[in-house]
Amino acid sequence: GNLEWLDKNKTSFLIMWRRPEEWGRLIYQWVSKNGLTNSVFTLYELASGDDTENEEFHGLDETMLLRALQALQQEHKAEIITLDDGRGVKFF
């Protein structure tokens, strides 16, 4: 369940330690626990910021981070936004 084929010929794949939905759940738990709903973060702040240093999602690859945030967006818990210097996310 944690393997995803990256091409139609099934020559390369991604093995995920956690599914994007699970990462999203962990991120949202951190947001809620710290009273950060209605806050905006850059992707860098989430993956590499000092505030997330002790969290499991700290250091998460940007591709997987985006997928986790997309899962949260589908649940109407977040919105991915474009900032002047890159992408960010607002949590609800």
Say which CATH number the domain at 84 has: 1.10.10.10
Residue 12 in any domain: the answer is no
pLDDT digits (tens, 9 = 90+) for 35-52: 999 999 999 999 999 999
pTM of the model: 0.86
Residue 50 in any domain: the answer is yes
Domain that holds residue 65: 19-91
Residue 40 in any domain: the answer is yes
pLDDT digits (tens, 9 = 90+) for 40-86: 999 999 999 999 999 999 999 998 999 999 999 999 999 999 988 78
The pLDDT of residue 1 is 67
pLDDT digits (tens, 9 = 90+) for 17-39: 899 999 999 999 999 999 999 99
Residue 8 in any domain: the answer is no
Residue 5 in any domain: the answer is no
Exposure pattern of 16-28 as b/e (b: 16+ CB <10 Å)? eebbbebbbbbbb
How many domains are contained in the chain? 1
